[in-house]
Chains A and B, each alone.
Chain A
Amino acid sequence: MDAILDFFGFAFIQSQLPRFWDGFQLTLAISAASMVGAVMWGLALVGPRMSGVPAIVVPIMSYIELVRNTPLLLQIYLFYFGLPLLGLPLSAFVCGVIAIASQHGAFLCEIYRAGIRSISRQQWEGALALGMTRRKAMRQVILPQAVLKVVPPIGNQLVILIKDTSLVSAIGIIELTLSGKMVIERSGASFEVFLFIAAVYLLLTTTFGVVLRVAENRLRARQ
């Protein structure tokens, strides 16, 4: 037993836990902030995206295609090194969160859109016939149903988001991945550390998945 634990560098990892803990907390913070940002940004995009007005739809589609089809790492660099040139020297943390929320918000927008399109025309008519404007109908009748329908793909997207937070290590944020790298640089124990970090990410994403499923079932149970 001791031999196995030693193989995974158990004692060593234990000695480094305070460093990992700091990194983990930062990963949690970045994940939470980007998640809220991405969910809201996606919601903000989907109305205009589906407005049917070309002058609005075309720029939004272009933006979505742009951020979906270029690497997130590059986008993080662009925000981090580009915003100061525009006179907006934001912290690495804020830049990282904006970049992640921007890309994942674009993906989420398309997921919401699929959900909205799956709601029948009758639901629209029911709402419009009561005197609601399209905006009110969307907010109160269509969107709540649409989001519930696409909870699984939203969950997938947010799991990817959690994993993508490791990319902000590239702009010097000492989150979980970078904290691991720093431990490795000092100790050379790369296998043990990467394995440990992978396990932490796994724990984080599966916990998130379970929470999401419970929430979904609760919402569904009411209908």
Chain B
Amino acid sequence: MSTKPDMPMIRVRGVYKSFGDLKVLDGMSFDVARGEVLAIIGPSGSGKSTMLRCLNFLEEHDAGEILIEGEPLGYRVLDDGRRVRESEAEIARMRSNVGMVFQSFNLFPHRNVRENITMAPVSVKNVDKAEANDRAEALLEKVGLAEKIDEYPSRLSGGQQQRVAIARALAMEPKVMLFDEVTSALDPELVGEVLTVMQKLAEEGMTMVIVTHEMQFAHDVGDRLMFIDRGNIVEEGDPTKVFSMPESPRLKEFLHRFSASFG
């Protein structure tokens, strides 16, 4: 598979998505450059999580196109406009390049931390077991949980579980990392430890798309900020500018509600 360095890491073109009668994504188009950190904010029900989940095909877009490094995700659009669903193996292969961290951690409770991290590299990418293990140790070191390698997830705090989940996603050596409200389920005092790990990742040049309610974090870590409402991109740009000079009434109102925690 040839990757195309001239293509953006992620290209979203005219993506629509409905759940029944409810239109969730109303023709979204944007790019994410290599190494860029895109923060997506918006009210609940705005479609921001759905958009993120489309980026690894956990939600299937009804129309439009999503390209990861130029390769179509999930559906291939033919010259005559017909869409053909990719094979399951191909979808799995594309997903293995896109790491995802969930609000609810989704660690595997029947496996310890080590196995949670090594399982996918070994079974999906045929990484040698010893090598996967070394990588797991290094990643746990990185997220500050080296001593927890033999614990089971239920013995960890929420913040620790989420850091393991980040290490697990990184073990696949993804080209992009997606974060879906990863601190929303955490006690306030545990939010910081997760954000610190994410900030470190961003500084290392990882391409990241972050859906979050942490406005300060979006501001500090995001290279670009995107405000989504009713399935549309309402405003986007430099975080400082967007936060300090919001143009649309909807963003103004949204930020006003957050002003207690921001600014």
Contact = CB atoms under 8 A, between A and B. Distances in A.
Nearest to A129: B100
A25 interface: no
Contacts of B88: 133-134
A123 B92 contact: no
A123 B108 contact: yes
Nearest to A131: B96
Contacts of A129: 56, 58, 95, 98-100, 102, 106, 169
Nearest to A144: B110
Nearest to A133: B92
A22 interface: no
Nearest to B87: A133
Q: DSSP class of A's interface residues: helix, strand, loop or mixed?
A: helix
A218 interface: no
Interface in A92-134: 122-123, 125-134
Contacts of B123: 132, 136, 140
A187 interface: no
A192 B95 CA distance: 67
Interface residues of B, number: 30
Nearest to B125: A131
A128 B92 contact: yes
Contact of B106 (A125, A131, A148): A125
Given A136-B124, A145-B110, A223-B110, A131 B172 contact: yes
A148 B110 contact: yes
B152 A130 contact: no
Given A125-B58, A129-B56, A223-B154, A140 B102 contact: no
A186 interface: no
A140 to B, nearest CB: 6
Contact of B119 (A140, A222, A223): A140
A128 B110 contact: no
A141 interface: yes
B237 interface: no
Interface string A128-161: 1111111010001100110010000000000000
Q: Size band of the A side of the interface?
A: 20 to 34
B232 interface: no
A130 B124 contact: yes
A195 B100 CA distance: 62
Nearest to A130: B120
B169 A130 contact: yes
B112 to A, nearest CB: 8
Nearest to A146: B110
Given A136-B124, A141-B108, A128 B58 contact: yes
Contact of B92 (A131, A145, A223): A131
B84 interface: no
Given A125-B106, A141-B108, A223-B154, A130 B89 contact: no
Those 10 A-B pairs whose CB atoms lie nearest each other, nearest first: A131-B96, A126-B106, A130-B120, A129-B100, A131-B124, A122-B106, A131-B95, A133-B92, A144-B110, A131-B92
Given A130-B119, A130-B172, A141-B108, 6 more contacts: A127-B108, A131-B172, A136-B123, A136-B124, A141-B119, A223-B154
